Amino acid sequence: DERINIAIDGPAGAGKSTVARSVAEALGYIYIDTGAMYRAVTWSAREAGLDIENDEAVTAHARKLDIRLAPGPDGQVVLLGGEDVTSRIRSRDINLHVSRVAAIDGVRIRLVEMQRALASAKGVVMDGRDIGSHVLPDAELKVYLTASVQERARRRHLEAGDALGISLEQMEREIEERDRKDMGRAVSPLLQADDAVLLDSTGIPADEVVSRIREMALEKL
């Protein structure tokens, strides 16, 4: 079996999910968006009225959740107990709270276990923050995808700015704040793994980023 695992990590808005999805498609691999899992836990915890500062309560809640990622007509669909929460987990409220929930050790243990199980048969493109450094340390290809904060904010704003109802400047501040939390947390912070290839996509169109990663993947086969 020639299949490999590919880890794509990086800060918010670097285009990881767009790129990871296209790379997976090009190779006939399965795409797994781990950020969606942390978002689903955050959405559900807030929906249940939990205090997200309460690690024990959020961990116990996360353990009970049935989270599934399924292919849908416009990309990946996130199912929580069978309910489609795909668009609900992309709200500004979730953007503002997900990094707090993702800093809870018990939540990470539960989700990392799921992520490793999903990748065990290989042939997976997984995007997140700690995939190359912690979840799949043996991934054959690791990419750390980044871009300037201005460009990341601009892309996000083009994509969802109106829906989120915030200015470009506010988007930039909120992206920086989320990166600061994700890089600064005690457990599995966002960082470039020693053996990850750094790819700065500032000014590079997504299709070119995809073809570069695809080429790197083909070299590993």
Binding site for ligand C5P (CB under 6 A): 12, 34-35, 38-39, 98-99, 102, 128-131, 178, 182
How far out from the chain centre does Cα 145 lie? Answer: 12
Q: Is 18 annotated as a binding residue?
A: yes
Q: How far is the CB of 117 from ligand C5P (least distance, A)?
A: 15
Q: How far is the CB of 100 from ligand C5P (least distance, A)?
A: 8
Beta bridge partners of 30: 124
Q: How far is the CB of 46 from ligand C5P (least distance, A)?
A: 14
Q: How far is the CB of 106 from ligand C5P (least distance, A)?
A: 13
A 10 A CB-CB count for 53 gives: 10
- Long-range CB pairs of 164-168, under 8 A, 24+ apart, other chains included: 164/91, 164/92, 164/95, 165/92, 166/92
Q: Under a CB-based contact definition with an 8 Å cutoff, are residues 46 and 57 in contact?
A: no
Q: Is 99 annotated as a binding residue?
A: no
Which residue's CB is nearer to ligand C5P, number 34 or number 146? Answer: 34
Q: How far is the CB of 105 from ligand C5P (least distance, A)?
A: 12
Q: Under a CB-based contact definition with an 8 Å cutoff, are residues 13 and 175 in contact?
A: yes
Q: Is 10 annotated as a binding residue?
A: yes
DSSP label of 145: E
Which residue's CB is nearer to ligand C5P, number 92 or number 221? Answer: 92
Q: Strand order of the sheet with strand 5-9? A: 30-33, 124-128, 5-9, 141-146, 197-200
A 10 A CB-CB count for 21 gives: 17
Q: Is 14 annotated as a binding residue?
A: yes
Q: Is 16 annotated as a binding residue?
A: yes
Which residue's CB is nearer to ligand C5P, number 27 or number 131? Answer: 131
Which residue's CB is nearer to ligand C5P, number 72 or number 218? Answer: 72
**What's the CA gap between 170 and 172, in Å, rounded?**
5
Which residue's CB is nearer to ligand C5P, number 96 or number 221? Answer: 96
Known binding residues are: 10-18
Known binding residues for ATP are: 10-18
